[in-house]
Amino acid sequence: MFPGTGILAAADPMDHIADKPLFDGLLTDGSGLDRISSALYELGITKQVALFFIAGILTVLFFWSYVRQIRRAPGSVPGRWGNLVETILDTIRDQLILPFMGQSGMKFLPVLATFFVYILICNLIGLIPLLDYVGHGGNTATANYLITPALALCAFVLYHGLGIKEQGNIFTYIKNLFPHVPVVLLPLIIVIEIAAHIIRPCALAIRLCANMVAGHVMIAVLLSFTAAFTTDFLIGGGLITLISVIAVTLLTFLELLVAVVQAFVFTFLTTVFLSMAVHPDH
Amino acid sequence: MGMPIEFLSVFSNVLAQAAATPNGLYAAIGAGLAAIGVGLGIGKLAASSVESIARQPEAANDIKGAMILTAAFIEGVGLFAVVVAFLAKG
């Protein structure tokens, strides 16, 4: 039959977002694709990791034509694609960098724009409908509970590293990590601040992963109503299918909004932590 | 097994399974309570943001942006509780 027919009638909605080998389920007869996917799986490259790499390449391509035009003729009017890139960069500059770090924070614009566009592209790839047919697993890279902590770790290293670089050496940075309070409160403040610094990247990771997982599981559950009802009641199953398809369409629009908002929230929090690391103003 | 299982013993076959492994039931109750918190928080947020848009329609765009952003934070807290429920389930 068609490759991947098991998906829409999958018994377990969590199967819809689980991670699987790259071409799993496509051709399972020991052919070339099957052996490639098991070899890649030994290396750790599953479907979601491969999509994460592809999203990286797409992020570079996103900025490519705009950067080439601006480098060739600085100050020129951007074309249609450059207009989109400039909208994103202007939003990051006006809403994130200038309120928190002022003009001296403009040197952090490239890395924050990269975080935003990378997570946005990863989230949006997860909403492409029939990419599930390439393999059995899910295609949202940021719904993987191992990939989002990797992103949060990148943000953690970024803001601490840039804070250390801005303040000279690591001892000044550690001294500035804790607010200046009377000595009697200092042990409590140290414990609270260390706990806060550890929990912040964990919260970043869990927030992104759980939002993506929850949205896709809702879509899978509503879609599975169709299969569950139509096998028993044909006429009633038709009505349920109509309701289910309308609900899934509306949910997918909501998921588009959630994809953009979660990318923005990740970048927003990274900017806030970066501003606290670079200019501690206790 | 615990009091909640005996109290709801009218639904016998669902609870036969839940009494054997109550983890799933407790996790589901926990996730439902988290949803109550998220609903209250986002409801209060929506009420005050809509009222302030009605007071000053020129600031509508700023208020809308802030509303979406803070709704994402509150929903994140609710999803932390759902993740804990998932981990407690199995």
Read out DSSP for chain A?
--TTTTTTT-S-GGGGT---BTTTTT--SS-HHHHHHHHHHHHT-BHHHHHHHHHHHHHHHHHHHHHHHHHHSTTPPP-HHHHHHHHHHHHIIIIIIHHHH-GGGGGGHHHHHHHHHHHHHHHHHTT-GGGGGGSSS---GGGSTTHHHHHHHHHHHHHHHHHHHHTSSHHHHHHHHS----GGGHHHHHHHHHHHHHHHHHHHHHHHHHHHHHHHHHHHHHHHHHHHHHTT-HHHHHHHHHHHHHHHHHHHHHHHHHHHHHHHHHHHHHHHHHHHHHS---
Amino acid, single-letter form, for residue A184: V
| Chain A residues with CB within 8 Å of chain B CB | 95, 203, 206-207, 210-211, 214, 257-258, 261-262, 264-265, 268
List of chain A residues whose C-beta atoms are within 8 Å of the C-beta of residue B68: 257, 261
Q: Which of A12, A206, A266 to mutate to test the interface with B (most CBs of B within 10 A)?
A: A206
Q: Which pLDDT score, from 0 to 100, does residue A3 have?
A: 41
**Average pLDDT of the residues in B54-70:** 93
Q: Residue B68 is nearest to which of A207, A210, A261, comparing CB atoms?
A: A261
Q: Judge contact between A46 and A22, C-beta under 8 A.
A: yes
Q: pLDDT truncated to tens, each residue of chain A (282 aa)? A: 334 445 454 556 677 777 777 766 555 566 677 777 778 778 888 888 889 999 999 999 999 999 999 999 888 888 899 999 999 999 999 999 999 988 988 999 999 999 999 999 999 999 887 776 666 667 888 988 899 999 999 999 999 999 988 888 888 888 888 777 888 888 888 899 899 999 999 999 999 999 999 998 888 888 877 777 777 677 777 788 888 889 999 999 999 999 999 999 999 999 999 999 888 774
Whether residue B2 has pLDDT greater than 60? no
Half-sphere exposure of residue A143: CA atoms within 13 angstroms, side-chain side:
29
In the predicted structure, residue B37 carries a pLDDT above the cut 90 = yes
Task: For residue B84, give the 3-state DSSP assignment.
Answer: helix
**Residues in Cβ contact with A259 at an 8 Å cutoff, skipping those fewer than 6 apart:** A120, A123, A124, A126, A127, A212
A contact test, residue of B68, B77, B87 with most A CBs within 10 A: B68
CB pair distance less than 8 Å for B82 and A211: no
Report the chain B residue with the minimal C-alpha distance to residue A257: B68
Picking from B69, B73, B83, the nearest residue to A210 by CB comes out as B83
State residue A236's pLDDT score.
74
Let me know: does A99 contact A273? Beta carbons within 8 Å: no
Does residue B19 surpass a pLDDT of 50?
yes
What's the pLDDT at B11? 59
Please report, as a single letter, which amino acid is at residue A43: L
Domains (range + CATH), chain B: 39-90 (1.20.20.10)
pLDDT band at B22 (very low <50, low <70, confident <90, very high): confident
- Interface predicted TM-score (ipTM): 0.79
User: A88 is written with which tokens?
Assistant: 């994103």
Q: Does A261 contact B69 at a Cβ distance shorter than 8 Å?
A: yes
Considering only CB atoms, B72 lies closest to which of A203, A214, A262, namely A262
Q: What is the pLDDT of residue A27?
A: 56
Domain boundaries, chain A: 13-278
